[in-house]
Amino acid sequence: MKSRETLIRLKKFQVDEKRRKVSQIEAMIADFDRMAADLEREIATEQERAGIHDPGHFAYPTYAKAAMVRRDNLKRSADELKGQLEDARGALADAFEELKKIELLDERDQMRERAVESAREQAELDHIGLRARGALI
């Protein structure tokens, strides 16, 4: 029984770790999306300030070009993280399913043990009752 409790604790730890990983990836994606949106606003502001909206123009602001590259890199990184997020969610679901299986097995064993204990107690009470009845007769 002790080993089952240890296994349950291990599986709970694994589920918590996978849940943390999913949360971290979601936070990173949100950060990248926020930074990309900030860069998008900065690019628009720089274009308005320079009055040039064509990145191919010879006088297009250098900062706007650099910000575009950075924004595109952030978007690409966020897309890659979305793939990792799906994998992490799948791993979390698998770990959770394993935990539930073990918990159900443990619950079933506990119910069986309670039934055996209850039957043992009832047998003892029956024996005591029969002895008491025999003493009365």
Q: What percent of the chain has pLDDT over 70?
A: 96
Closest CA to 90 of 35, 34, 21: 21
d(CA 92, CA 17): 9
User: What phi, psi does 114 have (nearest 5°)?
Assistant: -65, -40
d(CA 2, CA 90): 29
Q: At what angle do helices 62-136 and 2-50 cross, to 10 degrees?
A: 160
The confidence band for 102, taking pLDDT boundaries of 50, 70 and 90, is very high
Whether 80 has a pLDDT exceeding 70, the answer reads yes
Task: Read off the pTM.
Answer: 0.73
Q: How many CB atoms lie within 10 A of CB 137?
A: 4
Domain edges within the chain: 2-136
d(CA 24, CA 74): 16
> pLDDT tens-digit profile of 39-68?
999 999 999 999 999 999 999 999 999 999
> pLDDT tens-digit profile of 86-96?
999 999 999 99
Which residues have C-beta within 8 Å of that of residue 29, sequence separation ≥ 6?
78, 81, 82, 85
pLDDT number for residue 43: 96
Within 13 Å, how many C-alpha atoms sit on residue 98's CB side? Answer: 17
